[in-house]
Structure formats: structure tokens, C-alpha cells
Amino acid sequence: MAQASGSPDDSGRLATLPWTPGDASETAAEALQALDTYKKKDPFKVIVRFKAVGNAPIMRQNFYKITASNRFQAVIQFLRKELSWKSGDPLFTYINLAFSPAPDDTVSNLYKSFATEGHLIVNYSTTAAWG
């Protein structure tokens, strides 16, 4: 459920402003409530398929379900853990053998834009592959 929007004193403050039209606080409250519905995190899960490139070690299991609201950074960290990579060991990640997404982009956004046959394909490499 969406949480109550704005801060408790929000509407009161707006209503006391002499130049605010009568329904402005209501409008703002409606807008903030609407905003809350869009802030709800995507609950669905996405299948991520990891594919090694070049000399990178192959994973025994390479399909994973991950909550869509996770950032791509979480995927990178998960991958590093699965590969037992030490911090500092180089690891480059790509979508569709094409580009490195920003670490703060969400899995949900990447899935919606780049999914292949229902999977988000993440390639990983120990060297920079597609600069």
C-alpha cells in the first residue's frame, strides 16, 4: 500500500498561505499520493543469464532470478561473489555483448529495454571487451 503522502503538516501549511487557491493543498496531496504509487518497487523477478567472455571462468549455474528493483551494482556484486572474486580483481560486465550499463541503473529498466527471450543477458570478462 502507498504510504500517506507528504509530511503531516503539509496541507495545513499550504492552506494558510493567503495567495494559495482553496484547492491547492488538495491538488498537491493528490499529486504526492500519485507519486507514491510510482515509487513502489517493482516486485517481480527477472531471470538474469550470465555468459562468460574470453578467459573468464564459466559458472556452473548461469540462470538466476533477481528482484527487478535491484540496481545493476547488486548484479555485479552477486557475480563477484559467485566467482569468488577478490576486491580489486578486474571484472567487466556488459549487456548483450554491447555496453556496460551504469551501476545505478535498475535491473527492471535494463530488462524492459534489453531483454532477450525473457532473459537479461549479462556478459562478464576479465578484460575490457567492448571498451
Q: Return the number of other C-beta atoms located less than 10 Å from residue 129's C-beta.
A: 16
Q: How far apart are CA 65 and CA 44, in angstroms?
A: 10
Residue 15, interface with other proteins (CB under 8 A)?
Answer: no
Burial classification of residue 126, based on how many CB atoms lie within 10 Å of its CB (0-12 exposed, 13-18 middle, 19 or more buried): middle
Only segment of 50-58, 60-68, 97-105, 119-127 that touches other proteins (CB under 8 A): 97-105
For the record, the C-alpha cell of 82 comes out as 559467485
Only segment of 46-54, 60-68, 101-109, 119-127 that touches other proteins (CB under 8 A): 101-109
Residue 131, interface with other proteins (CB under 8 A)?
Answer: yes
Taking CB under 8 A as the criterion, the residue among 53, 82, 85, 114 binding other proteins is 114
Per-residue x/- track, 30-59, other proteins (CB under 8 A): xxx-xx-xxx-x------------------
Q: Closest distance between other proteins and the C-beta of residue 60, in Å? A: 28
Strand ranges of the sheet holding 63-67, from the earlier edge strand across to the other edge: 63-67, 45-52, 119-125, 92-95
**92 and 128 Cβ atoms separated by less than 8 Å:** yes
- Interacting residues with other proteins (CB under 8 A): 6-7, 9-10, 13-14, 23-24, 27-28, 30-32, 34-35, 37-39, 41, 73, 95-96, 98-106, 109, 112-114, 130-131
